[in-house]
Structure 1
Amino acid sequence: MTIETADRDAIAEVVATVERTQRAKDPEGFLALFHPDALWTTGHGKVLIGRDAIAEFTRAVLPTATWDGEVTYEVVHTQLLRPDVAAVKVRQVYHSPQGDTEGAPLYVMTKQDDGRWLLHACQNTEVHGD
């Protein structure tokens, strides 16, 4: 199934907004990206079901998060599962003076009736060296 350029661009913009809101420690901007019935599994394995649970966790953790450096997010693969469902593999890198650490999130996104793509089922996984 071929993804339209407009959908690919919209999905990439969601990932770019994840990056911007993480850097800005902006929980509300981050939460606006989620479907109400979203499922989120953090990089440390905490399972959050529904936007309310994701919001509670994010509002408690993101504003006080500390990291020495910056984080970048890059879409490395997008695959349509249906015309309104996409699996998006992301490369997440925390750049710091001590060295980079990497995550490998998988975002399942759904296209809404208004054309917006939202995060629906997401798993963040820390990448360990060989």
Structure 2
Amino acid sequence: MNTETSDIKAIEQVVATVERTQRAKDVEGFLALFHHDALWTTGHGKVLLGLDAIAEFTRAVLPAASWDGEVTYEAVHTQFLRPDVAAVKVRQVYHSAEGDAEGAPLYVMTKHDDGRWLLHAGQNTAVHVEQGQGPSDGSP
């Protein structure tokens, strides 16, 4: 297995851990995925600078979060900007009895000396779907 393939698998594992920790409302497991000086923008546009701010927000919000159904995360595209920096497009779907709601996060991940990939920057964006159509870009 070449380095890029193993790095993609490691990045996909981070995304899978985001899913697992969100479902389990595992605050500490989620926070362990972040670089100490990460920049994170929530789906509602709240900007969080640094792990302390991300931790404060996550500890206040995640345990009380509620959704009917489940949430899934999938890394749909990984673009290496450098061997140790990757932009990762994620498909996030909240499945519920009322229907699915989608998010389209972009994660910038960095690889550290110990080989771990961490979330260094993130921007979550809601996908707005018009009735009878696919995502707002016109695709099915």
Conserved? CA contact 1:3–1:80, under 8 Å: no
SS of 1:4's partner is helix
In structure 1, the residue matched to 2:86 is 86
- Name structure 2 gaps, 5 residues minimum: 131-140
| RCO higher in structure (CA 8 A, sep ≥6) | 1
Q: CA RMSD in A?
A: 1.1
In structure 1, the residue matched to 2:33 is 33
Cα deviation digits, residues 8-66 of structure 1 (max 9, x gap): 00000000000000000001000000000000000000000000000000000000100
Q: Distance in 1 between matches of 2:57 and 2:83?
A: 31
Once the 2 structures are TM-superposed, how far is the Cα of residue 4 of structure 1 from its aligned partner? 1.2
The one-letter amino acid of 1:15's match is: V
In structure 1, the residue matched to 2:136 is none
Q: Distance in 1 between matches of 2:25 and 2:48?
A: 19
Aligned length: 129
In structure 2, the residue matched to 1:74 is 74
After TM superposition, the score normalised by the length of structure 2 is 0.90
Once the 2 structures are TM-superposed, how far is the Cα of residue 3 of structure 1 from its aligned partner? 6.3
Q: Distance in 1 between matches of 2:54 and 2:124?
A: 14
After TM superposition, the score normalised by the length of structure 1 is 0.97
Q: Structure 1 segments of 4 or more deviating over 4 A? A: none
The one-letter amino acid of 1:25's match is: K
Say which one has the larger Rg.
Answer: 2
Conserved? CA contact 1:90–1:106, under 8 Å: yes
Q: Distance in 1 between matches of 2:88 and 2:82?
A: 13
- Percent identity of the aligned residues? 82
The one-letter amino acid of 2:66's match is: T
